[in-house]
């Protein structure tokens, strides 16, 4: 039996920061295993194309390294020296400029808390990844939205106007994502160079850069004091569940982050897995190539579905506008067959679905189901 809750003689909830009261809780997605039980399908039969995970997972050498590691009872190295040096070789930037984190998401949270206080503002360029808006709001900062153009490119002039029309110093962070999630759009070098002239800190999120047809701009963070580039092992390296990301930062920002970060923010399993991934770059690169090849095939097949309009993508997913049909019903019909895609219906993403690139046989099941939908209307 539960003990009755003792009620405080004052309103304890009033002690919570006022910015939090205005926020809504994150809408969780149904866990994969729950859905598999609900549909009566084994987890291996679920075609999970809704969260941009890598269907190939990590290299076998990563699983072996995790199994063989013997020191899980020891705290991690707070400076992550070995991992930072391995990352330096992979990224092509000195280890002094790299800081690992508990997913790129943790770095986003750190940056918001380092730069923002109530009264400050950020610039967000929706439709894009939701965490920038979320983390900024947690600090009490205002989110100024500068909408992307119809082709999902960043409206550079509108961003410039939005910064310059605020009092000097009010806008602190500008979040840019390349390739962008959920559109897959690349931000051209010239646009990035121009935005870096603004008097703000630019956060360039490169979570999907391994899948792009353009090179990373991580090294730009050494030439621009106002640029930090975020990367992750969640997508290309296939260890989203272990939570490992990193920031590539100018020297002055590294000094601030060393003061700010939790000593043990990156756990030992993530470190072991990250190091093993970086030792087997042949596997990582081969997996990325398979997914890029599959992206081309998926895009072409989606274009053959009469009601879908796939957008060009440099990431491991394809955003589709749904024409003349209800995207939500399509998502639900697919879900009943164990095929999961991401559905959107919000400004800039009216009646859209986003499909992660899977294995060829997953593409085949999806496309077959979509064509069946063309014949039997939902």
Ligand X SMILES: *Cc1c(COP(=O)(O)O)cnc(C)c1O
Q: Which residues bind ligand X (CB under 6 A)?
A: 103-105, 129, 177, 181, 205, 207, 232, 234, 240, 245
Annotate 30-62 with DSSP letters as a single string: PPHHHHHHHHT--GGG-EEESS---TT-S-HHH
Residue nearest to ligand X (CB): 103
Tokens (6 digits) for 217: 């701009």
Please state the closest distance from residue 41 (CB atom) to ligand X, in A. 25
Please state the closest distance from residue 107 (CB atom) to ligand X, in A. 8
Please state the closest distance from residue 188 (CB atom) to ligand X, in A. 18
The C-alpha torsion from 239 through 336 and 358 to 341, rounded to 10°, is: -80
Please state the closest distance from residue 52 (CB atom) to ligand X, in A. 6
CA angle (318 as vertex; 248, 28 as ends), nearest 5: 75
Look-up of token digits 């959107």: 344
Backbone conformation region of residue 348, classed left if phi is above 0, alpha if psi is from -120 to 50, else beta: left
- For ligand X, which is the closer residue by CB, 115 or 365? 115
- For ligand X, which is the closer residue by CB, 105 or 314? 105
Strand pairing partners for 354? 319, 342
- For ligand X, which is the closer residue by CB, 105 or 335? 105
CA angle (248 as vertex; 133, 256 as ends), nearest 5: 75
Please state the closest distance from residue 127 (CB atom) to ligand X, in A. 12
- For ligand X, which is the closer residue by CB, 181 or 363? 181
Please state the closest distance from residue 304 (CB atom) to ligand X, in A. 27
Please state the closest distance from residue 288 (CB atom) to ligand X, in A. 15
- For ligand X, which is the closer residue by CB, 103 or 310? 103
Distances (CA, A) of 323 to 25, 275, 295, 317: 32, 45, 21, 19
Nearest to 354 by CA among 130, 37, 78: 130
3-state secondary structure of 336: helix
Tokens (6 digits) for 177: 């994502």
- For ligand X, which is the closer residue by CB, 233 or 365? 233
- For ligand X, which is the closer residue by CB, 66 or 301? 66
């Amino acid at each position: 039996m539960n003990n009755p809750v003792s009620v405080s003689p004052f309103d304890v909830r009033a002690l919570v920061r006022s910015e939090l009261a205005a926020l809504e809780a994150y809408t969780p997605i149904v866990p994969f295993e729950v859905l598999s039980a609900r549909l009566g399908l084994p987890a291996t039969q679920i075609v999970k194309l809704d969260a941009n995970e890598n269907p190939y997972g990590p290299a076998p050498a990563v699983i072996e390294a995790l199994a063989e590691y013997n020191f899980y009872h020891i705290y991690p190295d707070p400076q992550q020296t070995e991992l930072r040096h391995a990352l330096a070789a992979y990224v092509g930037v000195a280890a002094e400029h790299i800081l690992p984190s508990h997913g790129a998401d943790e770095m986003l949270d750190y940056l918001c808390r380092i730069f923002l206080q109530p009264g400050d503002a950020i610039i967000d360029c929706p439709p894009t990844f939701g965490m920038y808006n979320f983390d900024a709001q947690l600090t009490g900062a205002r989110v100024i939205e500068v909408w992307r153009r119809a082709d999902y490119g960043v409206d550079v002039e509108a961003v410039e106007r939005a910064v310059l029309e605020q009092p000097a110093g009010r806008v602190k962070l500008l979040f840019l994502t390349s390739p962008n999630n959920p559109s897959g759009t690349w931000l051209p070098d010239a646009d990035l160079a121009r935005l870096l002239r603004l008097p703000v800190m630019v956060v360039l999120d490169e979570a999907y850069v391994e899948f792009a047809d353009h090179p990373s701009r991580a090294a730009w963070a050494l030439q621009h004091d106002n640029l930090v580039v975020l990367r992750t092992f969640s997508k290309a390296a296939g260890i989203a569940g272990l939570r490992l990301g990193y920031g590539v930062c100018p020297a002055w920002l590294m000094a601030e982050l060393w003061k700010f970060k939790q000593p043990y923010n990156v756990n030992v399993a993530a470190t072991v897995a990250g190091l093993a991934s970086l030792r087997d770059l042949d596997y990582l690169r081969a997996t990325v190539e398979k997914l890029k090849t599959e992206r081309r095939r998926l895009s072409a097949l989606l274009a053959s579905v009469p009601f879908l309009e796939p957008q060009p993508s440099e990431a491991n997913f394809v955003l589709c506008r749904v024409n003349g049909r209800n995207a939500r019903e399509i998502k639900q019909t697919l879900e009943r067959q164990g095929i999961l895609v991401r559905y959107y219906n919000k400004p800039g993403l009216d009646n859209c679905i986003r499909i992660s690139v899977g294995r060829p046989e997953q593409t085949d099941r999806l496309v077959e189901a979509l064509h069946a939908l063309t014949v039997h209307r939902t």
